[in-house]
Amino acid sequence: QKEVEQNSGPLSVPEGAIASLNCTYSDRGSQSFFWYRQYSGKSPELIMSIYSNGDKEDGRFTAQLNKASQYVSLLIRDSQPSDSATYLCAVTVAGANNLFFGTGTRLTVIP
Amino acid sequence: DAGVIQSPRHEVTEMGQEVTLRCKPISGHNSLFWYRQTMMRGLELLIYFNNNVPIDDSGMPEDRFSAKMPNASFSTLKIQPSEPRDSAVYFCASSQLAGGFYEQYFGPGTRLTVT
């Protein structure tokens, strides 16, 4: 079983819509959760981190964490074509500071 | 502030040659990570260091790969001899250990092509 699972997509949404990206993880001891955005040919860029249950909002981005169900999600409101990228979910496991990455979900925002 | 610095940005070499990739972490960060990314395998952790000490090298593909971190501001990943299947983008990332937040910041990557 992989540590982190993501739907590979592709996920297509029209401009202005809400994009919803989901991620599940296997280690109940995980404490830190991250979303990275990666444009084609570029390196992963940290866009959100979340450490406690509930929602965390930053501009058009909202990260949601539910430790009981072992999932973390990212909502992108008012999606823009510039949001088109691959989104990687990453988590730590108990007792270590390295990240386990999902395979990523490719998002396309259609103008 | 300068981010993670990697060099070279592109490397083209012939099979059998030695390749050395370099990384300078963000100043003040004391954890450093080497990743490899391919279309087929995604983003793979090769090795990481805490306070210049290798913690987990289980992702290193084989003995042809080696990594060092002689001081807090420099690390190398060496492939000797290189093979065509080593062609990939190699990323270096760094983070802080203190606070338990572990946010990693990636460098621009080195695109390696082995012919």
Q: Is B103 on the interface with A (CB under 8 A)?
A: yes
Q: Are B104 and A42 a contacting pair at CB < 8 A?
A: no
Higher-pLDDT residue of B102 and B23 is B23
* pLDDT category of residue A81 using cuts at 50, 70 and 90: very high
- Mean residue pLDDT of chain A comes to 94
At B23, which amino acid appears?
C
Neighbours of A6 (CB within 10 A): 20
What is the distance between the alpha carbons of residues B13 and B113, in angstroms, rounded to a whole number? 6
> What is the percent of chain B where pLDDT is above 90?
88
* pLDDT category of residue A96 using cuts at 50, 70 and 90: confident
Q: Say if CB B2 and CB B27 are below 8 A apart.
A: yes
Q: Are A101 and B43 a contacting pair at CB < 8 A?
A: yes
Of A32, A101, A104, the CB nearest to B102: A32
Residue-by-residue DSSP string for A30-44: ---EEEEEE-TTS--
pLDDT value of residue B88: 98
Q: Is A103 on the interface with B (CB under 8 A)?
A: yes
Residue A81 tokens read as: 């074509």
Q: What is the mean pLDDT of residues A19-48?
A: 95
pLDDT value of residue A29: 87
